[in-house]
């Protein structure tokens, strides 16, 4: 159990007892007891007005660093992140979550750590058309980072990618 908790905190921390309980489908008190049981391996921190936990010595990014990522269907970061409203803010919840609140049915555009759109890739031989639908405008810097991310996607898939910024008309993954 300790290894599982350390891995979860490393990937998703800081978290509250309730976040962990939701992820494990258990009671918050049980989650709190297990987190406290890690002793000096964890530290309590303030998390959006609540008490949270993180691995001892982990730095919470202070912001200022711009990042753009294209995460695939059912990416672990998107699926396991709690609370959902921290990752899927405003229009992102409407556009990228299933009505039940399930994440992962759409590949998502992640900007500065939060969902900022959806995307779709259509392959044809050694070529692919990537359509990215941002939910807000992209600054020139973020657009360049998106171009770079599209290039990396092409390298991984060994295709030449043509990037279009516009509406994604394909529905969610079944």
Question: What is the per-residue pLDDT across 109-149, written as a single tens digit (0 to 9) for each?
Answer: 999 889 999 999 999 999 999 999 999 999 999 999 999 99
* Strands of the sheet with 108-111, listed across from one edge: 68-71, 108-111, 114-124, 127-134, 160-165
Per-residue model confidence (pLDDT) at position 64 = 53
Encoding tokens for residue 53?
């936990």
Per-residue model confidence (pLDDT) at position 61 = 55
**Is 124 part of a structural domain of the chain?**
yes
Residues of the chain below pLDDT 70: 60-65, 174
> Residue 39 gets which letter from DSSP?
G
Token look-up 């936990």 returns 53
Q: How many C-beta neighbours within 10 Å does residue 97 have? A: 21
Q: What is the CATH number of the domain that holds 19?
A: 1.10.10
Question: Residue 50's domain spans which residues?
Answer: 2-55
**Is 63 part of a structural domain of the chain?**
no
Q: Domain check: are 51 and 77 in the same one?
A: no
Tell me which residue of 170, 60, 56, 46 sits closest to 107, measured CA to CA. Answer: 170
Per-residue model confidence (pLDDT) at position 11 = 84
Q: Domain check: are 127 and 85 in the same one?
A: yes
> How many structural domains compose the chain?
2
pTM of the predicted protein model: 0.74
């Amino acid at each position: 159990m300790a290894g599982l908790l350390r891995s979860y905190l490393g990937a998703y921390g800081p978290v509250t007892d309730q976040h962990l309980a939701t992820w494990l489908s258990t009671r918050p008190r049980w989650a709190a007891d297990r987190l406290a049981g890690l002793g000096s391996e964890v530290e309590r921190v303030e998390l959006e007005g609540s008490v949270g936990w993180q691995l001892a010595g982990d730095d919470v990014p202070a912001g200022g660093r711009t990042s753009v990522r294209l995460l695939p269907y059912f990416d672990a970061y998107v699926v396991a992140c709690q609370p959902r409203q921290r990752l899927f803010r405003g229009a992102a919840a409407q556009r990228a979550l299933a009505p039940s609140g399930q994440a992962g049915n759409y590949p998502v555009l992640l900007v500065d750590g939060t969902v900022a759109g959806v995307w779709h890739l259509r392959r044809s031989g050694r070529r692919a058309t990537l359509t990215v639908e941002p939910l807000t405008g992209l600054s020139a810097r973020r657009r360049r980072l998106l171009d770079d991310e599209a290039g990396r996607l092409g390298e991984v898939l060994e295709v030449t990618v043509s990037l279009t910024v516009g509406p994604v008309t394909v529905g969610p993954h079944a």
